[in-house]
Amino acid sequence: MTAAPFLEGERLTLRVLERAAYAESCAAWTSDREVVRHLSRGTWPLTRDEAARDFDAKVGSRADVELGIHDRDGDGFVGVTGLHSLNTVAHSCEFRILIGDRRAWNKGLGTEACQLMTAYAFELLHMNRVWLGVNADNEGAHRSYQKSGFVEEGRLREEVYRNGAYHDVVRMSVLRREYEALRTTWALWPWIERQFPR
C-alpha cells in the first residue's frame, strides 16, 4: 500500500519510502547511464540488496530524511529526494534529489521537490542553511536550484571524474533569511502556506 502524502505540490506528492520499491527502483535507476550521468552513484552499479541496506541505514538515522517523489500525472514513484547530514548545532543540512524515471524530467517536478524540501527544512526542521553540490555541467539541475533560491557559494575544482573528463562541483546554498524573502514569490507558495501555517 502506498503511504499517504507527507508533503504535497501541484505536480507531485512526497511520500514515505517503502523498502522493496526503493530497493528495486534505485537499482534500476542507477543502472541507467543517462540518469546517473552527473552522479557519483553511477560509477558502480547498485544491487537491490545494497539499495535495501542503504535504505535501512537512512531509516534508522535522525541525520537523514528521504522521501519518494510521486508524479501526479500517473507515472507513480519516479524518484527520491532527501535532506542529509542534518546538523543540529549549525542548523544546516544537504539537499539531494534523483528523478530516476526520465519520462518525468523537465516537467517541473525537480523544482517543486526542491522548494517543498527547502520549506520543510526551514519550517519544520528549524534549519538555517540548506546546501548542495552540483556538477558544473548539470545545467538542468543548476537551473532548478536557482529557481528555488539557491545561490553559488563556491567551486570545488575538478572534484569529480565523469564521462571522460574532470568536472568542477558547484556548491550552492540558501539561508533562512533568503528563503523568508523569496518563498511568497514561488508559484508553489499557496501549497507551502497551507502545509506550514504560522
Ligand X SMILES: CC(C)(COP(=O)(O)OP(=O)(O)OC[C@H]1O[C@@H](n2cnc3c(N)ncnc32)[C@H](O)[C@@H]1OP(=O)(O)O)[C@@H](O)C(=O)NCCC(=O)NCCS
Residues making contact with ligand X (CB under 6 A): 35, 38-39, 79, 97-99, 105-111, 134, 138-141, 143-144
Catalytic hit among 22, 120, 145, 179:
145
- How many whole angstroms separate alpha carbon 97 and alpha carbon 150? 14
The C-alpha cell that represents 124 in the structure block: 519544520
Q: What letters, b where the CB count within 10 A reaches 16 and e where it falls short, cover 8-41?
A: bbebbbbbebbeeebbebbbebbeeeebbebbee
Measured between alpha carbons, how far apart are the two ends of the chain, in Å? 32
Rounded to the nearest 10°, the torsion over CA 79, 85, 86, 90 is: -140
CB of residue 154 to ligand X, shortest distance in Å: 15
Contact 51, 109 (CB under 8 A): no
Comparing CB distances to ligand X, the nearer of 109 and 116 is 109
Would you say 75 or 139 has its CB closer to ligand X? 139
Sole residue written with cell 539561508 = 175
Rounded least distance, CB 16 to ligand X, Å: 20
- Judged by beta carbon, residue 58 or residue 142, the one nearer ligand X is 142
Could you tell me the smallest distance in angstroms from the CB atom of residue 101 to ligand X?
A: 9
Q: Which residue is nearest to ligand X (CB)?
A: 110
Smallest gap from residue 11 Cβ to ligand X (A) = 9
Answer for the pair 121, 81: CB distance below 8 angstroms, yes or no.
Answer: no
Please, what sign has the CA dihedral across residues 73, 76, 79, 85?
Answer: positive
- Minimum CB separation of residue 61 from ligand X in Å reads 21
Would you say 88 or 106 has its CB closer to ligand X? 106
Q: Is 145 a catalytic residue?
A: yes
Residue closer to ligand X (CB basis): 143 or 177: 143
Residue with cell string 534523483: 98
The catalytic residues are: 145
